[in-house]
Every structure is written in C-alpha cells, then in structure tokens.
Amino acid sequence: MSTPSPNILLIYTGGTIGMIKDFKTGALRAFDFKNLLKRIPELQLLDCKIDTISFETPIDSSNMNPEYWVQIAEIIETNYNLFDGFVVLHGSDTMSYTASALSFMLENLAKPVVFTGSQLPIGDLRTDAKENLITSIQVASMQYANKPIIKEVCLYFEYKLYRGNRTTKINAEHFEAFASLNYPDLAESGVHLKINKTYLFKPNLKKSLIVHKNLDTNIALVKLFPGITEVLLNNICNTPNLKGIILETYGAGNCTTEKWFINLLEKTIKNGIHIINITQCSGGSVIMGHYETSEQLIKAGVISGKDLTTEAAICKLMYMLGQNISSNVFKTIYETSLRGELS
C-alpha cells in the first residue's frame, strides 16, 4: 500500500523571494502565489501536495513585528492538523528574528516550520529563490515511518538548513546570507540532502501544540562601547514600563567595572527589570565570572545569555515576559534551553 504524499502549506509573508520584475519599468512587485507551479514547474517533481496562503498585504521584512509573528503562528495553528509541514517565505533582513520568535511561540511543535527567502527575486535570471524554495519544501516533506523527520523551526538558505533560533544574517550581498556560529547545520544540500540527525531537536511528542501569542515588547537592547555615558544608560534604565534589557557586552561577557555602571545595574535589577548579558561577538558564549570584569555582574544578579544570538535573546525575553513568570524563577528559566536556543 502506497503512503500518501505529505501536505505542505506555503505561507508567503513578503520579501524578495515573492517578487517579479516588470521588465518594462524595472520595478519589483509581488506575484500571485496561486501561480507558483506555473512559475516553478520543478515543484511538480516533488512528492508532496502544496497549498499556498499569503498575507493579505505582503510586507517588507523591515516592517516585521510581533503582531505579524502572531499572524504566522495563527496560520500554523489553524492548519496544524491539515498539513505535515510548513514553509514560510520571508524577507531575509529580519528572518532570524521571526524564526527565533516562532520557535518560542510554538511549544511542543512536532512538525517542520521552515523559513526561507532569497537575495534575488524569483523571476531573475540568476535567482537563488528557486533552489531555496524547492529544497525548503523538500525538507518540510521529509518523513520516516509517516512522521516528519524535522520537528522544529528552522531556516534554509543557500544549501544549508539551520536551527532558526541559532541563526544571524551576516551578509547583505552574498547568497550565503546566514550563519549559525554556535550550533552545527541541521542539513546540507549537495548531490544528496544530508541530514545531521544528531543535531535535530527532539520535542516531547506526547504533548499537544501550545501557541503562545502574548509577547511583551517593553525591552531595550544596549550595545556597550568604550566611552558609553552614565546619562545615556540612566535614561534607558529609567524608560517608563521597561521590563528587560539585553546588554551586549565584550568578549566572554565582560564590561566596565566603573562604580557608576555596576551601581546602575544593581539599582535597575532591584527595580524588577531583568538584565541579560550576551556577547557582541558573532560566535562564542558569555562565561560570567571567567574574568574579574564579569564577576561583579553575577553579584548584581545579571542573567547569563550564554551563547544566545541577539535575535534569540530578544525573542526569548519578549516571550518570557509575556508569560508572567515570577521574578524568583525568571533567571533559572532564561538560562535554561527551551527550544535548543542555547548550549
């Protein structure tokens, strides 16, 4: 008896991948995804059924925000039992943020949600859109014993499949736009599609999908630099309704030991504002207490972001603040890996 072909839902939010060029004017416009199979006839060679759904008004990813994240999550929630996998087409600029956010919002996810996009429009002669799209759909439809092989939010770009909440956009020009510097690739596409099964996320399959839609954006991101002033930091720490600060420190989590700085952090934390320490470096981890310059942060009650990307640190903070977690366990939960986002 033949097994049924997987059903894949393609969700178009906007971005370069869904654009076609008007060759008379040179302007880019979004094309109708119902005509996808006409544009990319190769999709008919894939052993799956593809349905498409588009944002009513496709948006540039620079305009992406938590309200749109909720829209994507709701599309997946509504269609979760009807489809075996989901492919989200998204502009590359904020794709790592959205993929990170969705990983936290979709608790107990047991199906693939693959984000992809492109650097060139789908109609361009040298486009990277076709390969990214075809392989993303292929990844989303991979099964073993009628069950999806991938059970997490990931991001596929230029022959590599990454865990979504481990990615960062590193290049605005190259086709290889993303990197996952602190976690190995989940798969690589060459002559064969090679899955690194050891690194795949293993969710609790006995639990049902829970979709979290409450995200709190009352947070700040502060990148330290030599000469940062007390006035500036004081203003940020005293922002009305502020609930959390992501502090991008130097190297393995180091910062100035000037008295005013440490005092300000201590006072801010005592006021109930969570401060998370992550590194400015593209790769590597915060190791608090490794140097004397970060020992004082531990005493002040700063949370270690370990090897979180900035994108994942921000999205995890928004998600956790939306959960109304009590302050005495907040630090413990933040420093624990929930969706494979930290080592």
In Å, what is the CA distance from 65 to each residue of 11, 26, 216?
A: 16, 29, 12
Q: Are 17 and 118 in contact (CB under 8 A)?
A: yes
3-state DSSP assignment of residue 161: strand
- Residue 180 has a CB neighbour count (10 Å cut-off) of 23
For residue 44, how many other CB atoms are within 10 A of its CB? Answer: 8
Sign of the C-alpha dihedral, residues 295, 299, 302, 304?
A: positive
Report residue 26 as tokens: 């040179």
d(CA 49, CA 51): 7
Give CA–CA dist 286/295, Å, rounded: 12
The residue annotated as part of the active site, out of 13, 16, 98, 116, is 16
189 near 142, Cβ under 8 Å?
no
Residue 16 annotated to the active site: yes
Give whole-number Cα distances, 18 to 90, 271, 294, in Å: 9, 46, 46
Instruction: Take residue 270 and report the two structure tokens written for it.
Output: 């005592």
Given a contact cutoff of 8 angstroms between Cβ atoms, the answer to whether 270 and 245 are in contact is: no
**Residues with catalytic annotation?**
16
